[in-house]
Amino acid sequence: MKILITGAAGFIGSHTCERLAKMGHEVVGVDNFSSYYDVYLKQLNAKALQDVGVVVANLDLRNDDLSIHITEDIDYIFHFAAQPGIAVKSTFEDYFTNNFIGTQRMLDVIETLDNKPFFVNIATSSIYGLEATFPETEPPKPASWYGVTKLAAEQLVLAYVRRGFLKGTSLRLYSVYGPRERPDKLYTRLIDCGINNKPFPLFEGSTTHLRSFTYVQDIVDGVVSVIGKETICNGEIFNLGSETENTTQKGIEVVETILQTKITMERKPARPGDQSRTKANIDKARKLLGYSPQTTLEEGLKAQVAWFQDTFK
């Protein structure tokens, strides 16, 4: 099959591109190479993809002509592109235009096609709100601009599905970590601070936060499991993540153990909208997709440390 991946040079998107290419699919990637974090890191991801036969085109979903890449011969679209996280430096417009308008422009192009691709929207546990421990039937209560705009994008995709304009599904991902994780996220920053003897910015109250930290390859397992299950997945929402909860403090301790160092903490005010607890309820994904993440936090963090040391040596 021919598959289009948006956000292909990003963290999870690049891993998904690699997996699909190794499965024998023809993969086309697009990314706007946003300066939200060091573009050089995205270029490294794009280079790794080129090595497995995937070319990543520079495309901004908000402004560019999408009909060049969204064409009749595309069988699947995996839509990872988004303004991520809850960074203070990101404005509401950043979240709204990247997460909602970009999605809407894609759907408008798809609607014009006679042969429409199956659309896999990549959503987030932030849709649930300050606690994300629920099944997919729970009413959403997002508490951040990120969560609000990702929910809006998800419901826009499902509205197109309900109206019969296309077929698709939405996957809500939980606390993904591993090689290529963004430098602003917990573990890449922790590893950086531990190796380079820098203070780690610790947000007030965050050490007791509970998270379904999920290794990136376990997430990719769930993402690609949709293929071949179009009838089952059409119009459905699935949680993808680990059922094992760990505190942020536990994560810090695991990284310190792997690096054999003590990381200095620099206290910061709590971030508004930050989740206090996530625990993936994956009963639906297990039953319908055969989803079963296996990687322990220690195993995943050893792989992430090895990646960091190799990339930034």
Tell me which of 37, 95, 146, 291 is the catalytic residue.
Answer: 146
Tell me the H-state helices in the chain.
11-22, 39-50, 92-95, 102-111, 145-162, 186-196, 216-224, 230-233, 248-259, 283-289, 297-311
CB 98 within 8 A of CB 83: yes
- Please say if 128 is a catalytic residue: no
Residue 147 contacts by C-beta under 8 Å, 6 or more apart in sequence? 124, 126, 127, 128, 129, 140, 273
| Residue 58 CA to its chain's centroid (Å) | 19
| Residue 184 CA to its chain's centroid (Å) | 14
C-alpha to C-alpha distance for 301 and 298, rounded to whole angstroms = 5
C-alpha to C-alpha distance for 56 and 47, rounded to whole angstroms = 9
C-alpha to C-alpha distance for 163 and 283, rounded to whole angstroms = 27
Question: Catalytic residue positions?
Answer: 146
